[in-house]
Structure 1
């Protein structure tokens, strides 16, 4: 039996069972859940960075967004709150669409 020891999406145990396979799982406490969410976020960001086509990149961005929903909840907020903060920051400081690369600042 392969060992995974990682956070998985909620329906994965159901899918494994439907495939006639057996599995072992547990429910994480809040501290471990937060740590595993962060590990999963790093994993998905790395997979995004390794994507070699737009479809793969979009798939990984969807996974990152799903993790952002969960992380917002852990911090007592919703993704709508995160989006509001993003919008406020964009209004004050802009986004990244103009591709500006700051090389130096002189006093």
Structure 2
């Protein structure tokens, strides 16, 4: 039986059981949860980096957004608040559309 030892989406145990397979899982405490969310973020970012098609890339970006939603909630905030901060920074410092690559500053 494969061993995963990783955070999975809420319905994964139910989906596994619906196929007739068995699985074991535990409910994480808050320290384990935040650690696992951070690990999951790296996992999904790596999958995005290694995506080969636009479809795969968008799928992985959606997974990253789900992690951002969960992390915002964990930190007592919301995705909307994160989005507000993103927009504020966009107004003050811009985004990344111009593709500037800073080499050095004297």
Q: Structure 2-normalised TM-score?
A: 0.98
Q: Which runs of 5+ in 2 are unaligned?
A: none
Cα deviation for residue 104 of structure 1 reads 1.5
Q: Which runs of 5+ in 1 are unaligned?
A: none
1:10 counterpart SS class? coil
2:38 alignment partner in structure 1 = 38
C-alpha separation between the residues in 2 aligned to 1:88 and 1:4? 39
SS of structure 1 residue aligned to 2:23: coil
Report the Cα distance in structure 1 between the residues aligned to 2:56 and 2:6, rounded to whole angstroms.
21
Which residue in the other structure is 2:29 paired with?
29
After TM superposition, the structure 1 = structure 2 runs for residues 1-107 of structure 1, keeping only pairs within 5 Å, are 1-106=1-106
Q: Distance in 2 between matches of 1:30 and 1:74?
A: 9
- For residues 18 and 52 of structure 1, the distance between their equivalents in structure 2, rounded to whole angstroms, comes to 31
Aligned equivalents of 1:103, 1:39: Cα separation in 2: 31
So what's the TM-score if we normalise by structure 1? Answer: 0.97
Shift of residue 105, structure 1, vs aligned partner: 1.3
Partner Cα distance (2:101, 2:2) in 1: 45
CA deviations on 1:55-82 (whole Å, 9 max, x unpaired) are: 0000000000000000001110000000
CA distance in 2, matches of 1:102, 1:23: 49
Name the Cα RMSD after superposition.
Answer: 0.5
Q: Distance in 2 between matches of 1:22 and 1:104?
A: 56
